[in-house]
Structure 1
Amino acid sequence: MKQPEEVVKLLNSLLSYELTSIDEYTAHAAKFDDWGFSKLHERIAHEADDERNHAKMLMDRIIFLGGTPDMRTRVEYPVGESVRQMLEVGLELERDNARTLKKVIAFCEENQDFVTRRMLVEILADTEEDHAYWLRQQLELMEKLGEQVYLQAQL
């Protein structure tokens, strides 16, 4: 593997997305719970757990490569004030994370760090095929059904 210091730096940038996602989803889940949207609360709390797993994977790899996980840095995103805004913020965050993951995957490929690349491909699949897909699906349902009908189904 070439440039392990640069890989650590890039993994820390990805870690900031995962930590931001944990914060966002935890705050959103608390709001959904307070508002009585138990189905949304359950799903978003699950998403926060998934992000914790991603963060743990990144931290383990950073430490293995001789680096120190940056637990302070976050990516700036607003906490939504409505269900729609929360879903939109979550989707934007997942899309931005996916774009960053793809860049780091390409860097790892170029620098022959295939172990990190394999781990990141796994995180990317979860990000695109589960998290972003579900958020986009919810926004489409809200649009098709109308916001009030959608929200009633989330009780």
Structure 2
Amino acid sequence: MKAKEGVINLLNKILTADLTAINQYFVHAKMCENWGYERLHHHIRKRAFDEMKDAEELIEHILYLEGVPNMQRLGTVHVGETVPEQFKADLKAEQEMLAILSEGVNHCTKVGDFTTRHMLEDMVKDVDEHIDWIETQQELIKQVGLENYLSEQIRKEE
């Protein structure tokens, strides 16, 4: 199926953001593991794998639309040196992804590509959930203090 005008470029832009996020989340997860924060390691690593699934879906959809996935492009990976810095960097990445996805939903509506629009709308829901999770963690740190928050991250998930 041939893609509508601008859809392949848009999907490749989203793919670039996903590939960048995969790397950022993966390094943050490994850092948390190294620091002994098992709960954070588990959650952030899962997010990296969720981004990989999104990237796989994007690649498959680009190929379905007879396009070529651009795997060479990668944005800047922002590595936080502390957990709060990681949350700040990840929140920024998610907010940027939300903007790109919203642009994509609007473009797909204009050109009449409702299959791609639906796929992007599903991704928007996932990004919204992750933004909410990060903001909740940041609020917890404010309320209970960084040391108390981090002490709870040492335990593995039940």
Q: What is the TM-score of this pair, normalised by structure 1?
A: 0.95
Equivalent residues in 2 for 1:57-136, closer than 5 Å: 57-128=57-128, 130-136=129-135
Task: Give the equivalent residue in structure 2 for 1:32.
Answer: 32
Equivalent residues in 2 for 1:9-24, closer than 5 Å: 9-24=9-24
Alignment deviations for residues 64-99 of structure 1 (CA, whole Å, 9 cap, x no partner): 111111112122242111000001101110011001
Q: Aligned letter for 1:80?
A: G
Unaligned runs of 5+ in 2: none
Unaligned runs of 5+ in 1: none
1:25·1:47 contact (CA, 8 Å) conserved in 2?
Answer: yes
Percent sequence identity is 34
RMSD between aligned residues: 1.4
How far apart are the structure 2 equivalents of 1:50 and 1:133? Answer: 16
Alignment deviations for residues 120-145 of structure 1 (CA, whole Å, 9 cap, x no partner): 000110111x2111111111111111
Q: Which 4+ stretches in 1 moved above 2 angstroms?
A: 1-5
Alignment deviations for residues 18-67 of structure 1 (CA, whole Å, 9 cap, x no partner): 11110001000000000000000000011001101111111111111111
1:78·1:89 contact (CA, 8 Å) conserved in 2?
Answer: yes
1:29·1:41 contact (CA, 8 Å) conserved in 2?
Answer: yes
Count of equivalent residues: 154
